Structure 1
Amino acid sequence: MRRTSRSVALLATGLALASVTSGCSFLGLGSKPADLQVYSARHYGSEAVFKQFTKETGITVQFLGGENSDLLQRIKTEGKNSPADLFVTVDAGNLYEAAREGLLQPVDNAQLDAEIPAEYRDSQNRWFGLVSRARTVLYNPDTVKPSEFDAKETYAGLADPKWKGKLCMRDESEAYQVALVAHLINLYGKAKATEIVKGWVANDPQIMANDKLLIEAVDAGTCDVALVNHYYVAGELEDNPDLNVKIYWASQQGAGTMINISGAGVVKTSDNKKDAEILLEWLADKTGQAAMASGNHEFPVNPAVKPDAEASQFGAFKPAPLQADELGQQEKAAVEILDAAGYGR
């Protein structure tokens, strides 16, 4: 399998702290705690969202940013002394894992139940999805016609030998790629999902380190087709409307396009559950939904809130039902399938 040169991210040795309220000190030894402590693995303009929340409610927020695994480990290590009140992350599998490890507490809240559809929240109300993203096909219209895609089973269709040498995909360790394979397991079972991944591998995809590189490669004609999250495309087109790329909504005559979520849950050891719930309510209501979704061109989960213009430009589509718990349960199997198929090697 060919692999393009990757831009290697430098990993910080510690987690970066960011204060998101004026006059509010950093969280740390000797500092006065803010009203609400948020640990967030979401890196898409969260600071601006929390500033708006503070302005409207008067509740100050301090924001600890980091990778999902680092933040979860920190909460576990801090134990009952953890200052964390709310945990925010991307990917349903990460939310599932946090709940499975007993790090989140149930929240019985009528407003959240009313504004967040059941498929976007935990069955025990330990976490709540807030915005969604679609992982779908991006293609170069100079070299590919939409009619060439399998409209019923688009992801599986990319295993067809006709796509050999024409594909670009994300690296095997990336949560988006793992979640997509977990989705295929839920849809088809392990045997067929394995077959599909082996078909992708046989088509010799170029593996890239992030979605922006995938978009650039399709635009440049380095590859004809890629699988990307829609909001990356929206952001790149906002910066450069002349990009020669188009989105194709996958599997519209079948199960629908795979979606995933960003969401949050109240940390089990929180001593400020009241304000954490207020923040969750605000994020689920119209103002918070618009602020969170438009900051990254994602789709609000609250059906009363419309996507921004950049996300809406791709048109309406049928999303596949989100089975968040099942996605989380299948992610280990998804990693095993990718590894066994030789994906990324």
Structure 2
Amino acid sequence: MTVRQIEKDGFPIIARIECLLSSDSDVGMAKTIGLATLSLADMLGGWRPDILLLIADRYEMLAPASVALALRIPIAHIEGGEVSQGAIDDAVRNALTKLAHIHFTSTPLARQRVIAMGEEPWRVHHAGAPSLDHLRRSKLYSREQLEQRLSLDLAQTTLLVAYHPVTIHRDTTDEADALFSALLQLSEQMVFVYPNSDAGSRSLIERTQRFAAESENIKLFVNLDAVTYWSLLGKVDMLIGNSSSGIMESASCALPTVNIGMRQQGRERPCNILDADASQKSILDAIHQAKSEAFRNCLHGMTNPYGSGHASEMIAAILATVPLERLLVKQPTPLIREIEAQ
């Protein structure tokens, strides 16, 4: 979400900080956390909000969480308790959970995990994924509007590709070879979106650009706004890659999705997901299964385990009434012998 989109929704921006470096290295990621911490210390130290609301698992979130901890500002965290073993996001998410004072999870199982980490049950609420609220409320583009905006012919079979670096690996793009070699075997129209800014993204972008230059059937987009992206999910024939949108949002569109490699390993799977190892054969096998009429028919009437798009109402209602005086002091996690004695 860009600043312009936030302002368009009517929310004032009280401060702007410079923290993103022109780097896609792990050192750059670490420096981004440090720069953000310095700037946020001044901003939050002067503002002193009642609660700081953080979402998900991006490494940048460690900065505001650390500052809020030092300033004794209670933290509310959205989407804790999930698992994504192929990215450092997993460790970031768990760190944010332990720093936070109130939690809003996307699924019942995620709520159980947060409680198992020692958080008091009264602090942990199953709300659903807020991204589905945006999807439900947004006025999505029609096929004709998308074709005009993106210069596409969606009457053709179209594959949407969203692939990001695998940050748990030293070589964060080592699984990409299998993806590109598999896609070379296909003749369908493909729409690529740029990867995120994690370490290794520049190398991945360069490889994607070279790949796109080899075929007229490939369209590459640097940045698609959320509404355009969600509209595509409802109009393309398949999503391929390792984006969390393939786990969460695609299910609301009953879109066949091929999830590749480790990045989303461990996340709860809707029934529209087909997992593939980072090998050409495994990826092609999953793509062929996703194309099958039998698989597509089984998705009719499916539900999204990450919610129905009403998370924000619950989150807002709880934050408006939560007893602030109780938040900062968390009770210690019971020892196993204490639990057995109860």
- Normalised to the residue count of structure 1, the TM-score between the two structures is 0.32
- Normalised to the residue count of structure 2, the TM-score between the two structures is 0.33
Compare relative contact order (CA 8 Å, sep 6+) and give the higher one, 1 or 2. 1
